[in-house]
Amino acid sequence: MVMKPIANIHEQPLRDWKKGSKYEAKLARIGTVIGSEQLGCQYQIIPPGKAAYPFHAHHKNEELFLVLEGEGTYRLGEDNLPIKQGDVIAAPAGNGKTAHQIVNTSETDLKLIAISTRHDPEVVEQPDSGKFLVVSRVPPDTGFLGADLVYIGKKENTLDYWDGEDIGEEDK
């Protein structure tokens, strides 16, 4: 199959995404459709009062958002910044201080394009819940949860480096 380097976002099939009462969106992967390998691109439609994803920070990948329609709030670290149609938003790689989330605070759908680098492996922090996610070998047509290696945990549950290893003698 020959990949076409052009796709219209309005012609892409949307996948419904919902978790509980706070997270909901219609999503369409665009990057893989046009043959992009090092950049991810996703069309997102977020309904009023919802966010697509939890507050999170990528340790390795950058994201950029372009607001096509609607209004909302961009939570970046400790700041809550208003966003509207035409805004271009940076989400640099970092740690909890660069954690970000987009929430639709308006009465109409918030439509945006999310573009990201696709560096693998990746660590993602979720400061609100104290979790982190480690992923490796993420397929181009899925998100992190489709990766060959996925680990979600909390720092306080970490193991000793030698846990479970045969070190050749009894531990005393």
Whichever domain contains 87, its CATH number is 2.60.120.10
Structural domains of the chain, count: 1
- Is residue 157 in some structural domain? no
Residue 170 resides in a domain: no
Q: HSE on the CB side for 40, CA within 13 Å?
A: 24
**Burial 149-162, CB ≥16 within 10 A → b, else e:** eeeeeeeeeeeeee
Instruction: Report yes or no on 147 lying in a domain.
Output: no
In a domain, 99, yes or no: yes
Using one digit for the tens of pLDDT, what is the confidence trace for 65-87? 999 999 999 999 999 999 999 99
On the question of pLDDT at 169 being above 60, the answer is: yes
Residue 36: domain span: 9-120
From residue 87, give the alpha-carbon distance in Å to each of 43, 65, 77, 113, 168. Answer: 15, 8, 18, 11, 59
Record the tokens describing residue 26, joined without a space.
């219609």
Tell me which residue has tokens 């609100």: 128
In this structure, are residues 91 and 102 in contact, taking their beta carbons and an 8 Å threshold?
A: no
Is the separation of the CB atoms in 135 and 144 below 8 Å?
A: yes
Q: Among 78-82, 138-142, 145-149, where is mean pLDDT lowest?
A: 138-142
In a domain, 168, yes or no: no
Helices (H), 27-143: none
Query: Do the domain assignments include residue 148?
Result: no
The 3-state DSSP class for residue 83 equals: strand
Q: Provide the whole-model pTM.
A: 0.90
Residue 142 belongs to some domain of the structure: no
CA distance 91 to 93: 7
**Residue 4 placed within a domain:** no
How much helix, strand and coil, in percent to the nearest 5, is found in the chain?
5, 45, 50
Average pLDDT over residues 40-53: 97
Nearest to 123 by CA among 99, 142, 157, 102: 99
| pLDDT score recorded for residue 110 | 98
Q: Which residue has the tokens 């990201």?
A: 116
